[in-house]
Amino acid sequence: MKGTKSVKILLLAVIMLVSMLAGTVTGLAEEKKFDVTLNIVGVNNVITDVILERQDELYEKYGIRLNFQQFSNEQASNKLAVSFAAGGSDIDAFMFRPLDEARLFISNGWLENLQPYIDADPEAALVDDYYTASLELSKQAGTGDIHGLPLMIESAVVFYNKTLFAEKGIENPPTTMEEMYELAAILNDPDNDICGFACRGAGNPAVTQFSCFLRAFGADFLDEQGNACINTPEAVEAFEFYGKILREYGPDGVLNMGWTDTWNLFTQGKAAMRLDADTNMGSWDPDNSLITLDEIGFFQIPVGPRGDHGDFLITAWALGVSSASQNKEAAWTFVNWASSPEMQIETQKRGGSSPRACVWAENYSSWPVELQAVADAAAKVAVPTDRPYMTNVAKARDIIGEVIVAAIEGNADIQALADQKNAEMQALLDSEK
């Protein structure tokens, strides 16, 4: 009897312990804010890699699971278009390209307004930590309400060959456009197949890099009223300067060159200076380069004749919430988590380019320290576009590219051509109204 009683007491203790543990587990489950699976549309890049690797943290903290669908850039855009046409309720959150898609998505009501969520908990979103330009295109015109949180940015930078600079006795990189032109003349060495300055020359692709010159010379693609203005005296001056530096000190065949062509020239030691996107460093391959990483220097886009900056900072990717989602609060929680400093730091370590200033304040990047400093400085003075901000941007780039090509070829009357092309661009803008 005594043994039976002891067994009963032991069983009772086990039952009580199991009940307590079950209650604890239930309590933990109850502490999670959500119990939901979100449908996410994203693209195949380092941001997605980090999100997927750490998604268990999202569930443990918030009770959110992910059905993450990965696509190429164009496939993702097509997926979103089909979804929105059907109402958009099958998607909770998605990655998008603000420069290409934000205006359309916001005007059509496809992106949820995130401002109320941000205002409710500003310490969570930390929007003040974003570079100003990175948020601009995800804001609604008129209200300034934020409809997407940035994930990755891209700026312009000038790469230079330190060895070639040293051989010519050049100690410091240029700070003005005129100084850059003068150094290109000194560094140009056609006998050894080395050009002084390389940049895109093929018309349409060249527009994004030409924007640095256009802004540095105090001009722009559109004025404050949204009208075409590529024929102002300052714009013509920029076209002529761009044409002159590439015509006189650029590489042979520049009129057919995009970014990969000038990158190959530079890494083969055939270009003393090269202007393009800072994210090109992600293509660095020491096994196929004739210059070492230590030979590569970086400097910010030089200012123009009146001290204007020409730097751009475009937000390559942002995260938004579908306005038709049935799980908006959970979707916002995911977006805020995925764009947090902790996640951005992890992405930066793997070659990303964060829109948050705090990530650049420390050496988290795999990029050279010198490039990090230049990128951070550029981001603080940059504008959010590297092309005209309009719907028919591809056609507009074709129009502007014709002036760029003519300037490189040495057309004697760029003003007349710019007047003609400005009228064509204005007609294109008017067709969008």
pLDDT recorded at residue 65: 98
Note the Cα 27 to chain centre separation in Å. 42
pLDDT recorded at residue 31: 66
Cα–Cα distance, 409 to 246 (Å, whole number):
9
pLDDT recorded at residue 2: 44
List the structure tokens of 406. 């003519």
Cα–Cα distance, 64 to 337 (Å, whole number):
11
pLDDT recorded at residue 235: 98
In order of start, what are the domains of the chain with their CATH numbers? 32-153+315-379 (3.40.190.10), 154-312+384-431 (3.40.190.10)
Pairing between β-strand 36-43 and β-strand 93-96 as defined by DSSP bridges:
parallel
pLDDT recorded at residue 122: 78
Cα–Cα distance, 282 to 296 (Å, whole number):
14
Three-state SS for the chain is CHHHHHHHHHHHHHHHHHHHHHHHHHHHHHHCCCCEEEEEEEECCHHHHHHHHCHHHHHHHHCEEEEEEEECHHHHHHHHHHHHHCCCCCCCEEEECHHHHHHHHHHCCCECCCHHHHHHCHHHHCHHHECHHHHHCCECCCCCCECCEEEEEEEEEEEEEHHHHHHCCCCCCCCEHHHHHHHHHHHCEHHHCEECCECCCCHHHHHHHHHHHHHHCCCCCECCCCCECCCCHHHHHHHHHHHHHHHHHCCCCHHHCCHHHHHHHHHCCCECEEEEEHHHHHHCCHHHCCCCHHHEEEECCCECCCCCCCCEEEEEEEEEEECCCCCHHHHHHHHHHHCCHHHHHHHHHCCCCCCEHHHHCCCCCCCCHHHHHHHHHHHCCCECCCCCCCCCHHHHHHHHHHHHHHHHHCCCCHHHHHHHHHHHHHHHHHHCC
Per-residue pLDDT for the chain (433 aa), expressed as one digit of tens each? 444 444 444 444 444 444 444 444 444 444 678 999 999 999 999 999 999 999 999 999 999 999 999 999 889 999 999 999 999 999 999 999 999 999 999 999 999 999 999 999 878 789 999 999 999 999 998 899 999 999 999 999 999 999 999 999 999 999 999 999 999 999 999 999 999 999 999 999 999 999 999 999 999 999 999 999 999 999 999 999 999 999 999 999 999 999 999 999 999 999 999 999 999 998 889 999 999 999 999 999 999 999 999 999 999 999 999 999 999 999 999 999 999 999 999 999 998 999 999 999 888 988 899 999 999 999 999 999 999 999 889 999 999 999 999 999 999 999 999 999 999 999 999 999 8
**Closest by alpha carbon to 217, among 159, 142, 330, 301?**
301
Cα–Cα distance, 169 to 184 (Å, whole number):
13
